[in-house]
């Protein structure tokens, strides 16, 4: 019996005893009317709840957790979506907050957290400037108000500068720095005036200079601090750039975050998903690059091997289907059981289409695409290789009726049953959704364009005609 007791004591000392709370956060709300208050946090563009506490009958809410709260911006909230923020950043988590029901934010005080003292002092100073500005808006004429508003902005800048100077290691100071735009030079080191292109390239290279990408608190901040700036960089600053420029810029951004595992993880996952879902045809190349650089090289150890394998497999398929690559050969049968080869289609260009009449998007897109095709088939010497993706007997009947109802009988538009083929075209062309539309140059069988609808197809055809006319001149 004594040996059993000793063994139990040893197991407890090794961590099998009940874990002690890793944080204790007390919130006292004078005059509280809520029976429950929550702790939540920011991540990306969303907010999440991570803990709950109940009113002890005297407005006291005690949060105790057995898991650490990671660095970042958190908040107290209730069922009415009332909210007051606080920070968790390199301090022992034994915070005591106190406020009242009248105004959670303005009347909030804290013990045990210098980080939050800095935050609340800043918020109170900002609110004073805001109320002064609103009062001036009501009482001053427009000219006087503009001058007053400018003065208030300078005062707010001064408040922020004071925090940056006095508390540079505070989280609120680092958030302020993260949201500051970079200073773009107008001249180079030799005093030569920089061209607009040179200044743009400077922005591309230095956009995140003020962002502490090596600090994990970034992923748990309001969306304007980190998430939106990343999205603005991708959607606006890099808008229209080719993959050859985008890929090294994203690599630089992601690689700088490697010392912060959570930031690194968020950037890789978010950017990979963004380019996976992109409707811009050439951006498939960015997705492929990100997967091959980060998923296929062991840099994502937190993901299950099956998830990594799935992503790598898809990227490898997409790599073979990028604009500029040779289209895999296809041989299928038309409605009269005559075989047709993709590589032997007549004309200079072939429109390759995977679709089904049971697909709602297909029923909308394919007739419009067919109409645009008929307009250019002669002038651009073009044919179409249109494959039914659901070749069961029931769908084949619908397919033939759909073709007849929409007058899709142009001999240059070849309708093919996907039931028999030289390869598993679903696998080779990664046909998981429909419609999928490619444009192929018959001279070398390379993809000229992909992800086409009627409107984009029309634009591409105009570009082809423009280039052809340019070559003639």
Is 18 among the domain residues?
A: no
pLDDT at 398: 96
Across the range 86-95, mean pLDDT stands at 96
Does 16 have pLDDT greater than 60?
Answer: no
Q: In which band, very low, low, confident or very high, does the pLDDT at 54 lie, cut at 50, 70 and 90?
A: very high
Is 230 among the domain residues?
A: yes
CA distance 415 to 436: 15
Ranking 334-338, 386-390, 440-444, 458-462 by mean pLDDT, the lowest is 334-338
Beta bridge partners of 441: 349, 446
Q: Which two tokens stand for residue 43?
A: 């991540």
Across the range 274-302, mean pLDDT stands at 96
pLDDT at 336: 87
Domain final residue pick, 320, 354, 379:
320
455 plus 347 within the same structural domain: yes
Q: In which band, very low, low, confident or very high, does the pLDDT at 236 lie, cut at 50, 70 and 90?
A: very high
pLDDT at 19: 53
Q: Tokens 């993901």 map to which residue?
A: 303
Q: In the chain, pLDDT over 90 holds for what percent of residues?
A: 92
338 plus 428 within the same structural domain: yes
Burial (CB count <10 Å: 0-12, 13-18, 19+), residue 452: buried
Is 397 among the domain residues?
A: yes
Looking at residue 48, which CATH number applies to its domain?
2.60.40.180
Structural domain span for residue 246: 225-320
Is 443 among the domain residues?
A: yes
Does 3 have pLDDT greater than 70?
Answer: no
Domain final residue pick, 158, 176, 194:
176
Q: Which helix (H) or strand (E) holds 84?
A: strand 83-88
80 plus 151 within the same structural domain: no
446 plus 351 within the same structural domain: yes
Using an 8 Å Cβ cutoff, are 385 and 373 in contact? no
pLDDT at 14: 40
Is 192 among the domain residues?
A: no
377 plus 460 within the same structural domain: yes
Cβ atoms within 10 Å, residue 19? 9
Across the range 221-239, mean pLDDT stands at 97
Ranking 33-42, 48-57, 61-70 by mean pLDDT, the lowest is 61-70
335 plus 467 within the same structural domain: yes
Domain final residue pick, 289, 320, 351:
320
Burial (CB count <10 Å: 0-12, 13-18, 19+), residue 412: middle
Across the range 216-245, mean pLDDT stands at 97
313-339 pLDDT, tens digit per residue, is: 999 999 999 999 999 999 999 988 899
335 plus 463 within the same structural domain: yes
CA distance 437 to 386: 9
Average pLDDT, the chain: 93
Using an 8 Å Cβ cutoff, are 387 and 425 in contact? yes
Q: DSSP character for 69? A: P
- Total of domains in the chain: 4
Across the range 214-242, mean pLDDT stands at 97
Across the range 302-323, mean pLDDT stands at 96
> 8 by DSSP, 3-state: which?
helix
308 plus 361 within the same structural domain: no
Ranking 1-15, 107-121, 295-309 by mean pLDDT, the lowest is 1-15
Does 450 have pLDDT greater than 50?
Answer: yes
Q: Tokens 């993959």 map to which residue?
A: 243
pLDDT at 67: 86
Which has the higher per-residue pLDDT, 335 or 120?
Answer: 120
310 plus 396 within the same structural domain: no
431 plus 299 within the same structural domain: no
Looking at residue 417, which CATH number applies to its domain?
3.40.30.10
Using an 8 Å Cβ cutoff, are 204 and 248 in contact? no
363-379 pLDDT, tens digit per residue, is: 999 999 999 999 999 99
pLDDT at 21: 72
Is 270 among the domain residues?
A: yes
Q: In the chain, pLDDT over 70 holds for what percent of residues?
A: 95
358 plus 423 within the same structural domain: yes
337 plus 468 within the same structural domain: yes
pLDDT at 20: 65
Ranking 186-190, 258-262, 269-273, 465-469 by mean pLDDT, the lowest is 465-469
Does 4 have pLDDT greater than 80?
Answer: no
pLDDT at 7: 38
pLDDT at 473: 65
Is 412 among the domain residues?
A: yes
pLDDT at 1: 40
Does 275 have pLDDT greater than 90?
Answer: yes
395-435 pLDDT, tens digit per residue, is: 999 999 999 999 999 999 999 999 999 999 999 999 999 99
**Pick from 368, 402, 386: which is nearest to 438 by CA?**
386
List helix spans (H) across 192-240.
196-206, 227-232
Is 4 among the domain residues?
A: no
């Amino acid at each position: 019996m004594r040996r059993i007791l000793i063994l139990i004591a040893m197991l407890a000392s090794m961590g099998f005893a009940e874990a002690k709370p890793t944080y204790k956060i007390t919130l006292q709300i004078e005059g509280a009317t809520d029976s429950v208050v929550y702790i939540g946090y920011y991540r990306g563009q969303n907010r999440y709840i991570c803990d709950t506490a109940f009113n002890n009958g005297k407005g006291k809410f005690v949060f105790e957790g057995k898991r650490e709260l990671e660095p970042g911006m958190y908040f107290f909230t209730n069922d009415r979506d009332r909210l007051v923020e606080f920070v968790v950043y390199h301090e022992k988590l034994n915070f005591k907050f106190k406020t009242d029901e009248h105004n959670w934010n303005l009347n909030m005080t804290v013990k045990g957290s210098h980080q939050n003292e800095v935050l609340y002092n800043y918020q109170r100073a900002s609110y004073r400037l805001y109320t002064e500005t609103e009062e001036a808006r009501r009482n001053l004429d427009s000219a006087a108000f503009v001058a007053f508003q400018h003065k208030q902005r300078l005062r707010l800048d001064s408040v922020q500068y004071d925090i940056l100077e006095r508390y540079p290691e505070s989280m609120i100071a680092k958030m302020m720095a993260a949201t500051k735009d970079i200073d773009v030079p107008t001249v180079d080191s030799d005093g030569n005036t920089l061209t607009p292109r040179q200044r743009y390239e400077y922005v591309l290279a230095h956009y995140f200079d003020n962002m502490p990408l090596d600090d994990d608190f970034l992923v748990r901040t309001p969306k304007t601090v980190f998430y939106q700036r990343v999205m603005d960089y991708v959607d606006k600053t890099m808008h229209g750039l080719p993959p050859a420029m985008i890929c090294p810029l994203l690599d630089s951004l992601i690689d700088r975050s490697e010392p912060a595992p959570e930031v690194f993880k968020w950037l890789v996952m978010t950017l990979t998903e963004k380019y996976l879902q992109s409707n811009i045809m050439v951006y498939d190349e960015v997705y492929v690059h990100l997967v091959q650089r980060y998923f296929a090289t062991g840099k994502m150890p937190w993901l299950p091997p099956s998830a990594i394998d799935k992503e790598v497999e898809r990227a490898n398929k997409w790599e073979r289907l990028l604009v500029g690559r040779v289209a895999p050969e296809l041989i299928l049968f038309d409605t009269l059981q005559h075989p047709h080869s993709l590589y032997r289609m007549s004309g200079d260009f072939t429109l390759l289409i995977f679709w089904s009449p049971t697909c709602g998007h297909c029923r909308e897109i394919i007739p419009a695409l067919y109409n645009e095709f008929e307009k250019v088939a002669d002038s651009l010497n073009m044919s179409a290789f249109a494959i039914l993706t659901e070749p069961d007997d029931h769908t084949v009947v619908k397919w033939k009726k759909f073709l007849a109802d929409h007058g899709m009988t142009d001999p240059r538009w070849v309708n093919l049953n996907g039931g028999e083929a030289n390869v598993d075209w679903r696998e080779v062309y990664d046909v998981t959704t429909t419609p999928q539309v490619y444009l192929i140059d018959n001279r070398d069988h390379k993809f000229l364009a992909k992800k086409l609808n009627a409107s984009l197809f029309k634009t591409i055809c105009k570009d082809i005609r423009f280039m052809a006319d340019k070559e003639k001149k």
